[in-house]
Amino acid sequence: MTITLHESRVAGAIDRMYAEARYQMEALRRADFARLSEATPQERADALSDFYLPVTPEAGRLLYALVRATKPATVVEFGMSLGLSAIHLAAAVRDNGRGRVVTTELSAAKVAAATKTFVDIGLDDVITVLAGDALHTLQTLAGTVDLVLLDGWKELYVPVLELLEPRLSPGALVVADNTSMDELVPYLEYVRDPANGYVSVPIPARESDSMEISCRAVT
């Protein structure tokens, strides 16, 4: 059996992209995040349009495993960036033999670059890219959603989740990245409040950060 993550085109792209992301780290550390925090989401997206801002390799493999295990018909990603996490999600969808990945991105430059990568590695047929503000583009989504990855601007995690909630299937998983950040305290309070219908657990994503995996437990 072929594992898509291990195919030469896919594995080569992943290795290249992570190498480029590591090379960017010094420039990323010099970015004026204090100024960017006061900018609009579009201004931030444009200012960081060359940067990967990826999930860790371990988190990417976790996403692949979660999709393989749960076999979702529809995966939604908020915050595609340059496409590393979408590649892991789409590889799992391909290996499941069913499903699709719907991913969102505000930066037009990132949409163009990631779309080309998806074509080059042969995963474009299972990925739909919604360009623009996710709070608008996701309103066009039809059908139920079985797995969500939140990895865009942090203040939008709760609004995006609330937008998707009516479409979440019972047992749907919501995976949020960078949940050690102070900006995500309101999100964690939301998914950890039993009144909101989730069972939630933190997962280490890197030495100084974590992810939160939440199950939509209402039936």
| Spatial separation of the C-alpha atoms in residues 196 and 78, rounded to whole Å | 20
The pLDDT, as a whole number, for residue 28 is 65
The pLDDT, as a whole number, for residue 35 is 63
Burial per residue of 61-77, b for 16 or more beta-carbon CB atoms within 10 angstroms, e otherwise: ebbbebbbebebebbbb
pLDDT, tens only, 129-147: 999 999 999 999 999 999 9
Q: Is the model's pLDDT at 32 over the cut of 60?
A: no
CA 146 to chain centre: 14
| Spatial separation of the C-alpha atoms in residues 63 and 55, rounded to whole Å | 10
Q: Which of 114 and 206 is assigned the larger pLDDT?
A: 114
What's domain 4-216's superfamily in CATH?
Answer: Vaccinia Virus protein VP39 (3.40.50.150)
- The three-class DSSP label of residue 170 is strand
The pLDDT, as a whole number, for residue 40 is 77
Distances (CA, A) of 89 to 92, 111, 121, 125, 186: 5, 17, 14, 13, 26
| Spatial separation of the C-alpha atoms in residues 151 and 165, rounded to whole Å | 17
Q: Is the model's pLDDT at 208 over the cut of 80?
A: no
The pLDDT, as a whole number, for residue 50 is 72
Residue 130: Cβ-neighbour burial (10 angstroms; 0-12, 13-18, 19+): buried
User: So where are the chain's domains?
Assistant: 4-216
The pLDDT, as a whole number, for residue 73 is 98
pTM, to two decimals: 0.91
The pLDDT, as a whole number, for residue 47 is 67
pLDDT, tens only, 84-106: 999 999 999 999 999 999 999 99
Beta bridge pairs of residue 173: 147, 215
The pLDDT, as a whole number, for residue 80 is 94
What sign has the CA pseudo-torsion 168, 151, 54, 178? negative
| Spatial separation of the C-alpha atoms in residues 39 and 33, rounded to whole Å | 10
Q: Is the model's pLDDT at 34 over the cut of 60?
A: no
The pLDDT, as a whole number, for residue 53 is 78
Confidence tier at 31 by pLDDT (50, 70, 90) = low
SS (H, E, C) 181-206: CHHHHHHHHHHHCHHHCEEEEEEEEE
The pLDDT, as a whole number, for residue 69 is 97
